[in-house]
Amino acid sequence: MNKTVICPGSFDPVTLGHLDVITRASRMFDHVIVAVLVNSSKTPSFSIDERIELLKETTRALDNIEIVSFNGLLAEYCRQRRVDAIVKGLRAVSDFEYEFQMALTNKKLNPQLETIFLTADSDSMYLSSSMVREVASMGGDISNFVPSCIHNKIVERLNKGINKN
> Which of the residues are catalytic?
18, 42, 91, 129
Q: Taking every pair of C-alpha atoms in the chain, what is the biggest distance, in angstroms? A: 59
Q: Residue 68: what residue type?
A: V
Question: Which DSSP string corresponds to 3-15?
Answer: -EEEEEE--TT--
Q: Are 39 and 11 in contact (CB under 8 A)?
A: no
Q: Are 122 and 91 in contact (CB under 8 A)?
A: no
Burial class (CB in 10 A: 0-12, 13-18, 19+), 96: middle
